[in-house]
Structure 1
């Protein structure tokens, strides 16, 4: 009895595992997007990323040190592309071009920096056999949480915020420059004024000393100079 129960539990677990992997259907010759989106968004552009098929038996795509390494792709050579700019936004999705019937299987993406896996299933059918619209996933729950798709309103709001912050930054920069210019001018004028006041004070002192000495010129110390 326990053996039967254990078998049923195993079958149930395998069924859940199968439904937890997104499945993409495509016709021969189409391009398929093997989706892998990180939530929360993490920049993985500096992390090695590998896409493999059927438990890593076939290497599909290798990304190391900011470059794609095509030497390990074999039959997938020149048929895959990874958006390097998208990696900065947590988008590790892979485009597989001109799919073939033999491409059907389970694809696994491994992000080394996060030690995270993302699984996607692909089913390639003959031309004209795909009933549902191309590129539409079956009833699945992604193995990674997928961020909510951006709407035009979201993009407009983000653009408006960027413009607002840019204007504020420029205004603060100009204001700071004006304040520094005013302070510099004030300090310069103050130094010139102090210098002129010292000159006037010196002249006044010399005049007073000359008057006290009976009209004789004085030296720098204020004493009458001897006339030879």
Structure 2
């Protein structure tokens, strides 16, 4: 065999060897829940030990910063991103089976993003990308009563904090029929999204406030009893009666004390407005 033929044969052999191994990851995004642990899949197919290879995990959406490094048979994380210190781990026994999946502990909202798993041997290298989606389940919703309007409608407010991404909030009656929110507020901080919706009801019923995020749901219930609306009607009647009495007294006083009518008129206006 001539020298050029030998070179061609070795190149083909090297090409064949390189092509038969591939680094693979998950076909879909990996979903993680804040506060829990998650596995970022990465392995060599067909299976081959990567104990003697270099395994790198990087954040692609953060200037290629190092998340975890395994090289020369040990973890080398001196240049690891500070926020990942003590939260990443490779299973060294699984490395013998070609499994370089990364365990990420105590997931945070900031962990969401694109990760690159890179494996390199002396003769070949390959990589795969893992897209991590983080969900944070917020606090249970709280319903508060915010008084009545002029028509006797009961104002209800529902609020829930600490969700990620932004959740859906809906009101439901006792039959499960969705009720339209009158006002909606959404705010985001370092912990996630805070949502607040208001609604007005005009009759007694069981009212549910439900907050949903993919497979997570939290719910609160309030019963708007007839006593609430009766108390409002009673209050309105009392205010009307007091207003009539005050009007009569002012009229009598005005008839007897015309010079002081202005003072009592101002008092009457202030009293009625305050009562309403």
> Normalising by structure 2, what TM-score?
0.39
> Normalising by structure 1, what TM-score?
0.46
Pick the structure with more strand per residue: 2
Pick the structure with more helix per residue: 1
Bigger relative contact order, structure 1 or 2 (CA pairs below 8 A, ≥6 apart): 1
